[in-house]
Amino acid sequence: MLLGLPYWLILVIPLGGSLLVPLAGRFSERMRDWTPAILMGITMVLSWSLLLEIGNPETQTSWTWIAVLGLNFEILLDPLSVVMAVLASTLCFLIYVYSTEYMAHEGDRDRFFFLMLAFGGGMLTLVLSNNLLIAFIGWEIMGFCSYGLIGFWSDRRNPMEVELDPIVYKNPLLQFETEGQYNTHCGTKAFVVTRIGDAFMLGGILILFVFTGTFSFTEMATNAQGWWQVMASIGLLVPTFLLIFLGAIGKSGQAPLQVWLPEAMAGPTSVSALIHAATMVKAGVYITARFLVTMVEAAGSNGNSGGHVYSTLQAVGFEAALSFFIVVAVIGGITALMTATMGMVSNELKQILAFSTLSQLGYMMLALGTGGILEANNLHFDYAYLSSILHVVSHGAFKALLFLASGGVIHALHTKYISKMGGLRKHMRKTFTIMWIGILALAGIPPFSGFWSKDSIIEYTYELAVHWTNPLGWILFVFAVLAAACTIFYSLRLMGITFYGPPKETHDSHDSQESHEEESEEHVESEEEHHDDHHSDPHDPGPAMMVPLYLLAAFTIIAFVVFPFIQNIVLESSQSWAEIMNEMIMVKLTMPGVVPFAITLFALAIGGIPGYIIYIRNADRKNTIIPETGFRRRIHNFLKHRWYINEFYYWVLNKFLNAAEWYRVRVDNNIIDGIDFKSADSAKAISGRARWFDDNVVDGFAEGISTQSVAGSERGQRAQTGVVNDYVGVIMFGIGLLVIIALITMGVI
Q: Does 23 bind other proteins (CB under 8 A)?
A: no
Rounded-to-integer distance, Cα 347 and Cα 631, Å = 20
Instruction: Select 676 or 726, whichever has its Cβ closest to other proteins.
Output: 676
Query: What are the residues facing 64 on neighbouring strands?
Result: 72
Please give the residues from 666 up to 695 whose contact with other proteins meets the rule CB under 8 A.
Answer: 668, 672-673, 676
* Separation between Cα atoms, residue 577 and residue 204, nearest integer Å: 41
d(CA 331, CA 326): 8
Residue 180 binds other proteins, judged by CB under 8 A: yes
Which residue stretch of 186-194, 361-369, 588-596, 599-607 sits at the interface with other proteins (rule: CB under 8 A)? Answer: 186-194
Segment holding 74, helix H or strand E? strand 71-76
How far from the centroid of its chain's Cα atoms is residue 251's Cα? 3
Going by C-alpha positions, the residue among 43, 39, 47 that lies closest to residue 18 is 39
- Residue 196 makes contact with other proteins by CB under 8 A: yes
Q: Is 222 in the site for other proteins (CB under 8 A)?
A: no
Closest separation in Å from C-beta 133 to other proteins: 7
Binding mask 409-448 for other proteins (x = CB under 8 A): ----------------------------------------
CB closer to other proteins, 65 vs 643: 65
Q: How far is the CB of 669 from other proteins (least distance, A)?
A: 10
Using CB under 8 A, pick the residue from 9, 58, 104, 155 that binds other proteins. Answer: 155
Instruction: Select the residue interacting with other proteins from 9, 192, 606, 645 (CB under 8 A).
Output: 192
What separation, in Å, do the N-terminal and C-terminal C-alpha atoms of the chain show?
A: 134
* Least distance in angstroms from the C-beta of 180 to other proteins: 4
For the segment 639-658, give every residue that binds other proteins (CB under 8 A): 657
User: How many C-beta atoms surround the C-beta of residue 49 within 10 A?
Assistant: 16
State which of residues 661, 694, 703, 726 lies at the interface with other proteins (CB under 8 A).
Answer: 661
The answer to the question of residue 307 lying near other proteins (CB under 8 A) is no
Q: Name the residue nearer to other proteins (CB basis): 191 or 489.
A: 191
* Helix, strand, coil percentages for the chain (3-state, nearest 5): 75, 5, 20
Any bridge partners for residue 71, and if so which? 66
Q: Which of 49, 60, 188, 377 binds other proteins (CB under 8 A)?
A: 188
Tell me how crowded residue 547 is: count the other CB atoms within 10 A of its CB: 14
181 sits near other proteins (criterion: CB under 8 A): yes
Q: Which of 49, 178, 377, 568 binds other proteins (CB under 8 A)?
A: 178
Find the shortest distance in angstroms from Cβ 188 to other proteins: 5
**Residue 157 φ/ψ, nearest 5 degrees:** -100, -10
Cis omega (within 30 of 0) on the bond before 14? no
Rounded to a whole number of angstroms, the minimum distance from the CB of residue 67 to other proteins is 6
The answer, yes or no, to whether the previous bond of 592 is cis (omega within 30 of 0) is yes
Which residues, 66 to 125, sit near other proteins by CB under 8 A? 66-69
CB nearer to other proteins: give 41 or 226.
Answer: 226
Judged by CB under 8 A, the residue of 87, 88, 133, 482 near other proteins is 133
* Residues forming beta bridges with residue 75, ordered by sequence position: 60, 129
Find all residues with CB under 8 Å of 384, minimum gap 6, and list them. 367, 368, 370, 371, 374, 457, 460, 464
Q: Which of 47, 59, 129, 154 binds other proteins (CB under 8 A)?
A: 154
Of the pair 7, 114, the CB lying nearest other proteins is at 114
Q: Give the integer Cα–Cα distance in Å for 117 and 16.
A: 9
Tally the C-alpha atoms within 13 A of residue 106's C-alpha that lie toward its C-beta. 22
In the complex, the smallest distance separating the C-beta of residue 243 from other proteins, rounded to whole angstroms, is 8
Alpha helices by DSSP H, 257-348: 260-263, 269-273, 281-300, 322-343
Residue choice 4, 27, 57, 157 for contact with other proteins (CB under 8 A) = 157
State the Cα torsion 133-127-82-20 to the nearest 10°: -110
Give strand pairing partners of 587. none
Stretch that binds other proteins, among 149-157, 391-399, 440-448, 692-700 (CB under 8 A): 149-157
Give the Cα separation of 233 and 550 in Å (integer).
54
Task: Report how many residues bind other proteins under the rule CB under 8 A.
Answer: 49
DSSP-derived secondary structure letter, 4: G
Judged by CB under 8 A, the residue of 17, 151, 303, 362 near other proteins is 151
In 428-520, alpha helices (H): 429-443, 449-467, 472-499, 513-518
User: Binding residue for other proteins (CB under 8 A) from 34, 102, 112, 200?
Assistant: 200
CA distance 602 to 210: 50
Stretch that binds other proteins, among 77-85, 184-192, 487-495, 700-708 (CB under 8 A): 184-192
DSSP annotation of 60? E
| Phi, psi of 645, rounded to the nearest 5 degrees | -70, -50
> Minimum distance from CB of 670 to other proteins (Å)?
12
For the four alpha carbons of 327, 333, 336 and 340, in that order, the dihedral sign comes to negative
Q: Among residues 467 and 664, whose Cβ is nearest to other proteins? A: 664
Smaller CB separation from other proteins, 185 or 425: 185
Q: Which is nearer to other proteins, 186 or 334 (CB)?
A: 186
Shortest distance (Å) from residue 408 CB to other proteins = 27
Which parts of this chain interact with other proteins (CB under 8 A)?
64-69, 133, 136-137, 140-141, 143-144, 147, 151, 154-157, 178, 180-181, 184-185, 188, 191-192, 195-196, 199-200, 202-203, 206-207, 209-211, 234, 309, 657, 660-661, 663-664, 668, 672-673, 676
